[in-house]
Structure 1
Amino acid sequence: MFVVCGEALMDVYVGASTPTGLTLDARIGGSPLNVAQGLARLARPVAFLAGLSTDAPGERLLASLRAEGVDTSLVLRNDAPSTLSVVSVDANGVPRYAFHGNGAADRQITTDTLPALPPATRVLQFGSYALAVEPVGSALRALAARERAQRLIAYDPNVRLNVDPDLMHWRTVVEQMVSLAHLVKVSDEDLGLLYPAETPEQVAARWLAQGAALVAVTRGGQGASAWTRAAQADAPSPKTQVVDTVGAGDTFQAALLTWLDEHDALTPEALSNLDTVSLGALLHFAARAAAITCSRRGADMPRRAEID
């Protein structure tokens, strides 16, 4: 079983003015939620570990997870509000983001309240801002450290400066998580923010030296690359009519984990032993999955049969 740890939220889009206010359109979101639902659509057994509010948005988020077949037994409910990311567009069509998350439900997990993991748990997937805010960040980082020797740790930084603009803090969190993770997937955009003086190849080499077994870097329409200590491969992005890229990185991560599961490679040793041909096949599979998401509106991730 996969256990995805992180946050779920509502992306709230500001619409037209009305005589008494504004129209708002709230959409289910959050990178970890997307990864969990992506794994479920790819026919993987998956549970979601996060704090969810008992308010109306929290109920809707919970219903969405259950509808996709995600195990919600590790979800911790509380009466703090749900996180809202409010998206508006200015007169020039440029989006602006206002993040409302201080004291929200997804931050309320502590080390003492972490639920016991199911015995069948093989992989813990971590990512996004839940690792960088408190108290949940400390709790999840402690969970990764505790479980590293028994289970595969996967990590996608998914840097969100609208949550915390402090790049030094993000670098500290990322470096700590990389030292705990066996599999790291990161976008070139995040690398550009975190390490502008280093190339992706240099960062990957450094992270492998710190203990990661596999590092994958996505480059949007330019494809993706992956490294182990002994092999390296690249894959192009499939040609597709892009509608939007929402959820593409989350789809890529879910597909990476799915391919590794289907090829019995969900151990640090198996990751390290992937050769160039296998790395290429892994990247091609994940890129096909991400391209399907890009061809549709929103984080509408593919099901397993669609990739074949």
Structure 2
Amino acid sequence: MSDFLVVGECVADIVRVAGRPDVPHPGGSPANVAYGLARLGRRTALLTQLGDDPAGELIGAHLRAAGVEVLGDLGGPGVATPTAVVTLDGRGQASYDFDVRWTLRPVGTPPGGVRHVHLGSIGAVTEPGAAAVRDVVAALRHGATVSYDPNVRPALMGPRAEAVPRVEACVALSDLVKASDEDLAWLYPGEAPPQVAERWLAAGPGTVVVTFGGEGAVAYSAAGEVRGAPVPAKVADTVGAGDSFMSATLDALADLGLLGGPSRARLAALPEPTLAAVLRRAATAASVTVSRPGANPPDLTELSAALA
């Protein structure tokens, strides 16, 4: 049995900074989460699409080098590896221009099962591939816990009125949801994050975590609100910071034995001190990631040193 199955897209991030040559980096939110989990020593499989092209070769080698098992549509006819031009401003903040098609075919679940399934971003809401993602989650949810990160990309989400129900369907399937304040602002203009978190909790998840960039994060659950302080960092860029936060959150919960279907009730009843420790670990991982270029999360040794 694998610890984690991550389902979603890979994207070749072409990082563009004024006055410098373009540099391709392996990316895509689900792929970054899988890579981050493997770097932390977790047995992780990624169900995705990769084309038989240079970008696909780059991403595949990157993932396998960390120990990720890559599954799904790999080099099939008509499959091209998605790309995104990532433009960095003077503060290292990233904006994106995507060329992404998500057409994941129906696939079987990994033999032996998994303890936890993570889904998110484009792959969870973009048809026709999103239907295959939902089928995988439905097939595994009895025995596995589920997490979700909407990782909103407005250019690819379609009209808000259509995107919100798709996001909320994923929220309802999940035990843990992480979203940024920017995600929530696009999905629910004018609503405060606590209001959205309360509504999402009523839909099914035991915990909703909202990140606020350099201002830290807040976890909402039956225990109330738990605030996680930001961890200072000298920012090279913010690419992959939220994904690193997600990987470290799941890694912390795995350490606590809180993943897997039989642990669902305990995961939903996390006490405040435990949630605070999870947020600190996650924020520390994100701080390491933003301190260096690209989606480059810490390995276990680096994270342990940063926490110390």
Alignment counterpart, residue 66 of structure 1, candidates 64, 67, 70 = 64
Deviations, residues 124-163 of structure 1 (Å, cap 9, x unaligned)? 1001111222211111122223322221111000011122
Structure 1: gaps (5+ residues)? none
Residue 40 of structure 2 aligns with which residue?
A: 42
Query: Aligned partners of 1:75 and 1:108: how far apart in 2?
Result: 9
SS where residue 189 of structure 1 aligns? helix
Q: What's the offset of the Cα at 1:212?
A: 0.6
Q: What's the offset of the Cα at 1:74?
A: 4.6
Q: Which amino acid in 2 is paired with 1:32? A: P
Matched, 1:280 2:276: yes
Q: What's the offset of the Cα at 1:87?
A: 4.2
Aligned in 2, Cα 1:97/1:304: closer, same or farther, shift over 3 Å? closer
Please say if residues 15 and 25 of structure 1, whose CA atoms lie closer than 8 Å, have aligned partners that are also in contact: no
Residue 105 of structure 2 aligns with which residue?
A: 110
Alignment counterpart, residue 145 of structure 1, candidates 114, 138, 148 = 138
SS where residue 114 of structure 2 aligns? coil
Size of the alignment, in residue pairs? 296
Query: Aligned partners of 1:97 and 1:262: how far apart in 2?
Result: 34
Residue 100 of structure 2 aligns with which residue?
A: 101
Query: Aligned partners of 2:109 and 2:231: how far apart in 1?
Result: 40
| TM-score with structure 2 setting the length | 0.89
Q: What's the offset of the Cα at 1:26?
A: 2.2
Q: What's the offset of the Cα at 1:89?
A: 7.7
Q: What's the offset of the Cα at 1:66?
A: 0.7
Please say if residues 228 and 271 of structure 1, whose CA atoms lie closer than 8 Å, have aligned partners that are also in contact: no
SS where residue 238 of structure 1 aligns? coil
Please say if residues 47 and 74 of structure 1, whose CA atoms lie closer than 8 Å, have aligned partners that are also in contact: no
Alignment counterpart, residue 228 of structure 2, candidates 223, 226, 235 = 235
Residue 75 of structure 2 aligns with which residue?
A: 77
Q: What's the offset of the Cα at 1:232?
A: 2.7
Q: What's the offset of the Cα at 1:6?
A: 0.3
Query: Aligned partners of 1:15 and 1:220: how far apart in 2?
Result: 21
Query: Aligned partners of 1:272 and 1:89: how far apart in 2?
Result: 38
Query: Aligned partners of 2:146 and 2:51: how far apart in 1?
Result: 27
Query: Aligned partners of 2:295 and 2:234: how far apart in 1?
Result: 15
Q: Which amino acid in 2 is paired with 1:98? A: D
Residue 299 of structure 1 aligns with which residue?
A: 295
Query: Aligned partners of 1:96 and 1:237: how far apart in 2?
Result: 22
Deviations, residues 173-231 of structure 1 (Å, cap 9, x unaligned)? 11100111111011111011111232111111111111111111111111111122234
Alignment counterpart, residue 174 of structure 2, candidates 181, 190, 196 = 181
Matched, 1:164 2:157: yes
Alignment counterpart, residue 237 of structure 2, candidates 244, 249, 252 = 244
Structure 2: gaps (5+ residues)? none
Matched, 1:136 2:129: yes
Query: Aligned partners of 1:241 and 1:96: how far apart in 2?
Result: 19
Aligned in 2, Cα 1:35/1:51: closer, same or farther, shift over 3 Å? same
Deviations, residues 46-66 of structure 1 (Å, cap 9, x unaligned)? 011001111221122111111
SS where residue 72 of structure 1 aligns? strand
- Answer with 258-267 or 114-123: which moved more: 114-123
Aligned in 2, Cα 1:240/1:115: closer, same or farther, shift over 3 Å? same
Aligned in 2, Cα 1:196/1:65: closer, same or farther, shift over 3 Å? same
Q: What's the offset of the Cα at 1:295?
A: 1.1
Matched, 1:226 2:228: no
Aligned in 2, Cα 1:95/1:274: closer, same or farther, shift over 3 Å? closer
Residue 4 of structure 2 aligns with which residue?
A: 2
Aligned in 2, Cα 1:286/1:13: closer, same or farther, shift over 3 Å? closer
Aligned in 2, Cα 1:87/1:217: closer, same or farther, shift over 3 Å? closer
User: Between the two proteins, what is the percent identity of the paired residues?
Assistant: 40
Please say if residues 94 and 237 of structure 2, whose CA atoms lie closer than 8 Å, have aligned partners that are also in contact: no
Query: Aligned partners of 1:75 and 1:65: how far apart in 2?
Result: 15
The structure that has the greater radius of gyration is: 1
Residue 253 of structure 1 aligns with which residue?
A: 246
Query: Aligned partners of 1:6 and 1:116: how far apart in 2?
Result: 14
Query: Aligned partners of 2:44 and 2:23: how far apart in 1?
Result: 28
Q: Which amino acid in 2 is paired with 1:99? A: F
Query: Aligned partners of 1:97 and 1:204: how far apart in 2?
Result: 26
Query: Aligned partners of 1:235 and 1:89: how far apart in 2?
Result: 27
Please say if residues 48 and 70 of structure 2, whose CA atoms lie closer than 8 Å, have aligned partners that are also in contact: no
CA RMSD of aligned residues (A): 2.3
Matched, 1:211 2:204: yes
Please say if residues 94 and 238 of structure 2, whose CA atoms lie closer than 8 Å, have aligned partners that are also in contact: no
